[in-house]
Amino acid sequence: MTQPRGQFSSKIGFLLAAAGSAVGLGNIWGFPTQAASNGGAAFLLVYLLLAFLLAYPALMAELTIGRYARANVVTALEGLSNRPLARRAGFITGLCALGVAVVILSFYAIVAGWMLAEFLAPAARQLGQAGSSEWLAGGSFGRNALMCAGMSMLTIVIIAQGVEKGIEAWSTRLMPLLFAILLGLIVYVLLQPGSKAGLSAYLIPDLSRITDPALILSAMGQAFFSLSLGVGTMLIYGSYLRDSDNLPQMGASVTLLDTGFAFTAGLLILPAIYVAQHQGVTVYTPEGDLIAGPGLIFQVLPALFASMGSAGDWLALAFFALMSIAALTSAISLLEVPVSVSVERWQLARPLAAWLCGGGIFALSLLIIWQFETLFELAITLSTVYGQPLLGVALCVFAGWVLQRNHLLGELSKGHPEIEATLFWKVWPFYVRLICPALIILTFLQSLR
């Protein structure tokens, strides 16, 4: 027996869930560190341009296909046309998207586990458990596996509860909390000596970097990763929207929330780096670059917190709570991709599907933790540098070439006929058909030269 499909109960519920998917480690960690090592606001400018020129139209393609098909990514892409070849291509693309979602979640859950460990470590210290705190701050296989298991279980439990009671209810609780913690931390850090230099490094652009192909490719990858594109998460969230919801407005709000959050996170991270330098923490590599990536999150910031006396533990607690929450709301959207396929195609009960898919992905995470040196970077590069932009092209092609123009525009403007009459949306089908795929592929080729 087929189970009734879930639906978001309100606009704000969808917005917070989709923003929850988009706002994640990519915003708080990826964006500010890329901006720091790529000319500050120059990166921000290129990023904003790409987010609105490429990622937003691609996001609209996903949301529109999702609501049109009202199905998971595999069934949706397969069902856009009656022609056997297009159906087969849709099926295969859907499976690829599913595969990329699984790979992203398998490494994302590991990183989310590190965040949980760094959150629990100062908490344990405050409770007088120095031994546990040290174990949590270490990097043993046991710690990484256990923390990843913890994050995976939270994700599974939320997804097992369904769209309204799980995804929507938890995003609605967690997203405002996330924003409040971020603002609190920004205010605190900006009051510390040294922070102003960080603000200038972030906000004054080094325009000589703006045409650097490496910068443009990083910005494109970051925009696709940050908006959770190409893997069917936005498609499945779009499929849970109501017919009366205004799609372009929803998509624009999600893009604005996501870029706004990334920008705001930069106001925390860059000043924090300079405050750390002011406190005598090493923030440059021996080659003279700012320490980015894991070194920033797990050495520079913890050293900064440690230099701040007893306030440091509370700051660490707040910062890693921020990271853990951001990671959790993104992880749930990734798990929804395979779960929705299992529920809709194989009629599995949702809780069973959540535990089976979540358990399988956790096994993959364990494999990556075990063979970390070989598999971790490989999983990230394959899924985010290649998989997401290429699948982004594929989804634009499906929206632009396989779905008929009248169906595409009809779905986009359902309940809001005025949308179809605006010039922007009249041009958009042509844009997702040709310009968007061409721009993505060009950016790609440019970087390979």
Which among 370, 365, 335, 330 has a CA at the least distance from the CA of 350? 335
Q: Which is nearer to ligand PFF, 298 or 314 (by Cβ)?
A: 298
**CB within 8 A of 327, min separation 6: which ones?**
24, 25, 108, 111, 112, 115, 151
CA distance 255 to 233: 14
Question: Using CB under 6 A, which of the segments 24-32, 59-67, 307-315, 418-426 binds ligand PFF?
Answer: 24-32
Q: Is 225 in the site for ligand PFF (CB under 6 A)?
A: yes
Question: Using CB under 6 A, which of the segments 4-12, 71-79, 224-232, 426-434 binds ligand PFF?
Answer: 224-232
Which of 192, 228, 413, 443 contacts ligand PFF by CB under 6 A?
A: 228
Query: Tokens at residue 159, please?
Result: 């997804």
Which among 167, 168, 208 has a CA at the least distance from the CA of 336? 167
Which of 75, 233, 324, 443 contacts ligand PFF by CB under 6 A?
A: 233
Least separation in angstroms between residue 101's CB and ligand PFF is 6
Q: Is 255 in the site for ligand PFF (CB under 6 A)?
A: no
Report the DSSP beta bridge partners of residue 284.
290
- Residue 56: how many CB atoms within 10 A of its CB? 23
Q: Is 231 in the site for ligand PFF (CB under 6 A)?
A: yes
Q: Is 33 in the site for ligand PFF (CB under 6 A)?
A: no
Question: Using CB under 6 A, which of the segments 227-235, 347-355, 395-403, 415-423 binds ligand PFF?
Answer: 227-235
Report the DSSP beta bridge partners of residue 290.
284
Q: Is 26 in the site for ligand PFF (CB under 6 A)?
A: yes
Instruction: Considering only residues 126 through 165, tell me which ones interact with ligand PFF, judged by CB under 6 A.
Output: none
Distances 22 to 301, 322, 371, 423, 429 between C-alpha atoms, Å: 24, 14, 28, 28, 24
Q: Is 365 in the site for ligand PFF (CB under 6 A)?
A: no
How many residues touch ligand PFF under the rule CB under 6 A: the total is 16
SS3 414: coil
Q: Is 104 in the site for ligand PFF (CB under 6 A)?
A: yes
Q: Is 333 in the site for ligand PFF (CB under 6 A)?
A: yes
SS3 284: strand
Which of 16, 17, 22, 391 contacts ligand PFF by CB under 6 A?
A: 22
Which of 64, 171, 226, 365 contacts ligand PFF by CB under 6 A?
A: 226
Distances 32 to 26, 50, 257 between C-alpha atoms, Å: 9, 16, 16
Least separation in angstroms between residue 385's CB and ligand PFF is 13
Q: Is 25 in the site for ligand PFF (CB under 6 A)?
A: yes
On whether the CB atoms of residues 159 and 332 are closer than 8 A, the answer is yes
Query: Tokens at residue 140, please?
Result: 């043993």
Question: Using CB under 6 A, which of the segments 225-233, 243-251, 399-407, 436-444 binds ligand PFF?
Answer: 225-233
Question: Using CB under 6 A, which of the segments 129-137, 156-164, 221-229, 353-361 binds ligand PFF?
Answer: 221-229
SS3 290: strand
CA distance 96 to 46: 29
Rule CB under 6 A: which residues touch ligand PFF? 21-22, 24-27, 101, 104, 225-226, 228, 231, 233, 330, 333-334
